Amino acid sequence: MIFDVEIKLYLYIWNNLLTPKTMKSSLDFTFNKVFFCALLGLTIINFLVTFIGDSLLLKTAMALFIPVFLICYLVKHKSLGFVFVSFLLFSFLGDMSLSFFTNETFIKVSSILYFLSYLYLIAIIIPKFKLLDVKKLIGVYLLGVFIINIFFLYTLYSVLQVIIPDKTEVLLFGLKNLSLIVLAFVSFGVYLNTQSRQSILFLVAVIFIAFSTILNYVNLYYLYHWSFEMLYRVLYGIGLYFIFKYVIADNKSKKNILEIKKAFYSDNKIISA
């Protein structure tokens, strides 16, 4: 009797707890927790650093986001596309530029580096933007939103031309924000057209990055306050977090599609044989 109970217990554990599918789900849950804890830890670090106001810590803490997220990512996922690596590289260099350049030079160098990183983000999402598949109503709405944003950018650009004597800095401001507007436009268009989990993750990431950029401009050109600096860093970190989540979800989706295609072709071979 006891022996039968033990056998049933072992079978229950194997079927419900130790099957490959269950173990994989458990690993996914653990990975997600570790990834979120990394975001939480970095957020706390940057909050403390901005509150303390130490210049050396301020310069180094910002550059922790990408290396920590990348290490967490590589623990489970081994593949990194060239475009994604390029985005991470230029973003990391932009984060690090504060440590190597003075304030005026930092603004120019970081603007160039972030501009390039946004271009690579556009390259990540643009293949999913099927212009011919966009419905007319959605297309008109997107065009209206894009024109409004371009108008605001032009207005702000004109104001900064009067305030800032350095024309190069103003030009880089315009290019950086234009690329951000195009990025938001494309990601929003992909979301409206597909409404997939990946498109939501990417759109959320772009929104956080856009708001962090706005707060950075408030710090640079209007009023510096440690709370604005802290929010800028937190929003930027959350944006990077969702970019990584998007890449993970997109790779998983591609893998599932590939497995379905393989299963379909193998079934066709069996039938034809």
pLDDT in tens, 129-141: 876 666 777 777 7
Q: Which of 61-75, 159-173, 196-210 has the lowest mean pLDDT?
A: 159-173
pLDDT in tens, 17-72: 444 444 445 445 577 888 899 999 999 999 999 888 887 788 788 889 999 999 99
- CA–CA separation, 89 vs 57, rounded Å? 21
Residue 231 pLDDT class (50, 70, 90 cuts): very high
Residue 271's pLDDT is what?
Answer: 61
Residue 234 pLDDT class (50, 70, 90 cuts): very high
Separation of first and last alpha carbons in the chain: 51
pLDDT of 111 higher than 80: yes
Residue 167's pLDDT is what?
Answer: 82
Domains identified in the chain, total number? 1
- CA–CA separation, 231 vs 46, rounded Å? 9
- CA–CA separation, 216 vs 85, rounded Å? 24
In the chain, the percentage of residues whose pLDDT exceeds 90 is 30
Q: pTM for this one?
A: 0.81
Q: Which of 39-43, 135-139, 210-214, 237-241 has the lowest mean pLDDT?
A: 135-139
**Domain encompassing residue 213:** 2-272
Phi-psi region of 166 (alpha: psi -120 to 50; beta: other; left: phi over 0): beta
